[in-house]
Amino acid sequence: MDWAAAEALVRAVPPGGRVLLICHINPDGDALGSMLGFGLGLRQIGVREVQATFPGPPEVPEPFRGLPGLDLLVPADVADPAPDLVICFDAASQSRLGELAGRLSSAGAALVLDHHASNEGFGTVSLVDPGAAATSVVAEELLTRLGVVLDPAIAECLYVALTTDTGSFRFAATTPAVHELAARLLATGISPGDISRRVFDTRPFGAVRLFGEVLGRARLEPAAAGGRGFVWTFATLEDLARHDQRPYVLEALIDSVRCTAEADVSCVLKQTTPGEWAVSMRSKGAVDVSRVAVTLGGGGHRFAAGFTGRGTVEQVVESIRDQLDGALLGPGA
């Protein structure tokens, strides 16, 4: 982790220079929160020309529409084509940047902040800490080194990033340092109750009914993954249309599937176009799902990973099932 090099890249932005912040497609709480929090921090230290964007449709998922710093966002197609510095958040590979990947080379310099073990290693300087619970952990440390003082707006962004990626401090990556960071963020006066209700505990009634249907068709395969069990379900564009719901409501679905006691591995297939699926996988520890995801063209973390699946539901599920035995972790792994 070459903090000095990263700090130098930011400090090298000339007065009046332009910085473009980008994050991965279908941005989640960590991607948006660390990006916007960092953007607000840059503004605080006098960088005026800051834009933030993400690939794909310029639609912020409802749970994140209360985030501070949304005014930094611009649609990808009008984002600065050649900024002095581009900073990339929470993306393990250039492919996750979609149409924005070219900015890494058209910008004067590229700084990458991430926490995926599968990070491909790109950018002029990259700060990738696979031990960090969220990209926001890396972002906060760099902000502090740059002399930024946490204010409530920056803190709220980083708090959303931290709570979404740690499952509200439940996942294994929740170290003492994570709680210490949470304490620093809360000390700015932000309201964790309001933030959590907005981000985790609010969804349209149509989504409640949609979840009922999709969970009702879940399948359990107790013999899969060397007998550790595999549970999966899927949601189609038709399902979304029938309940008048936007695709992002499905991001919470994996949490209702992965609680299945009889399965180590859980999976949700979310149809994106006919014949194409955004696949989310989770493991409770017996299987390295990032290995499965990487084999199938995706990436992620050991116990939370994903990829783009092509074909029918059964074909995609079979491709996963076939990889599970080979991704079993031995004792002590």
Q: How far apart are CA 201 and CA 293, in angstroms?
A: 29
96 near ligand AMP, rule: CB under 6 A: yes
- Cβ-closest residue to ligand AMP? 306
Stretch that binds ligand AMP, among 153-161, 195-203, 234-242, 298-306 (CB under 6 A): 298-306
Q: Between 25 and 296, name the residue whose CB sits nearer to Mn ion.
A: 25
Stretch that binds ligand AMP, among 176-184, 221-229, 242-250, 306-314 (CB under 6 A): 306-314
94 near ligand AMP, rule: CB under 6 A: no
Q: How far apart are CA 168 and CA 160, in angstroms?
A: 9
291 near ligand AMP, rule: CB under 6 A: no
Integer-rounded Cα Rg, in Å, for the chain is 20
Closest CA to 25 of 240, 332, 308: 308
Name which position in 230, 300, 303, 323 contacts ligand AMP (CB under 6 A): 300
299 near ligand AMP, rule: CB under 6 A: yes
Question: What distances in angstroms separate CA 169 from CA 181, 274, 324, one per listed residue?
Answer: 12, 36, 27
308 near ligand AMP, rule: CB under 6 A: yes
Query: 25 by DSSP, 3-state: which?
Result: coil
Show the site string, 140-169: x = touches Mn ion by CB under 5 A, - = not. Answer: -------------------------x----
Stretch that binds Mn ion, among 22-30, 230-238, 256-264, 311-319 (CB under 5 A): 22-30
* Amino acid residing at 183: A
Name which position in 54, 89, 248, 307 contacts ligand AMP (CB under 6 A): 307
* Amino acid residing at 1: M
302 near ligand AMP, rule: CB under 6 A: no
Q: How far apart are CA 93 and CA 74, in angstroms?
A: 22
Closest CA to 117 of 298, 286, 301: 301
**Residue 39 tokens, joined:** 């953007």
Name which position in 6, 9, 18, 28 contacts Mn ion (CB under 5 A): 28
Q: How far apart are CA 313 and CA 302, in angstroms?
A: 23
The residue ranges that bind ligand AMP (CB under 6 A) are 92, 96, 116, 280, 298-301, 304-308
